[in-house]
Each structure stands twice: as C-alpha cells, then as structure tokens.
Amino acid sequence: MSVSDLFAKKGSFFKSEEPTRYERKKHAKTAADQAWLDLCLTVDARDRLKCRSCGRRCDPKATALLERGERHHVVYRSAGGADTSANVVLICAGCHNDEHKHRLRIEGNADVALTFHRRLAGNDWYICRQETAPHVLVARD
C-alpha cells in the first residue's frame, strides 16, 4: 500500500470512522437546540404573539424593549420544569421582569389555562387574570 492510497481514502489512516466525543456532544447540542426552536415556534403560534399576562402585542425577535416578547417557563427548569408547550408561555418584557422580581406569579398549564397573580404593596396577592389558552386554528383539506 502506497502513501497515495492512504490519502485516497480521505484520511482514514489518520482518523477513525467512529465520531469523537466532541462530535457526539456537538450533535446532541444541535438536536437540543433544534427541539427548542421547534418549541418556540409552537408557543409563538399558540399565543399569537401576544403577552398572555397583559395582552400586549409582543415579538420575540423585536429589538425594542417595549415590543419584545420573552418565552418564560411557568415552572423553572431549575425546579424541574420541562421544555414543553404546557410549561412555556410568551409574555412581554415588562411582565417577564415583574415575574422575576416576584411581582407577578403564573400558575397552571399553558396549553389549557393559566392564572396570573399580582402582588400588592402589603405583600398580598390577588388574581389579576384567569384565561384559557388561545386555540390555534388548523386548516382542513
């Protein structure tokens, strides 16, 4: 076997046919990223690009802070919440900020119904909104 025969096999002499640990990890991350992007499209379509808390029109791709929408986990991932459409909701940047500053609390299943609680000055909570999920219309053939 000559040197040219080794290089004719596209470097098979220097590189094994098995993917490296880095390549496997990179592929797994790409699959997870694609799953998250698919989930985001589903959530955006379900919520019709409106904040589920206040009803303001919001777009996750907007650059202006007042127009930007954010995808929020009802149950945080750190608390065991899953990346599912039932746990992710689209809310505007203002409501998202209120939620993380503990002035807004979201409970329920985003696919079925949600309850939004606001905090009063005396640390009392009240229900500010209860709503069912907007249903996505599916075109029939």
Report the alpha-carbon distance of residue 69 to residue 58 in Å, rounded: 5
- Show pLDDT as tens, one digit a residue, over the chain (141 residues): 555 555 555 544 555 578 787 787 777 778 888 899 999 999 999 999 999 999 999 988 888 877 889 999 999 999 999 999 999 999 999 999 999 999 999 999 999 999 999 998 888 998 888 888 776 544 454
pLDDT the model gives residue 139: 47
96 and 119 Cβ atoms separated by less than 8 Å: no
Q: Where in the chain are the domains? A: 17-132
Q: Which residues pair with 73 in a beta bridge?
A: 88
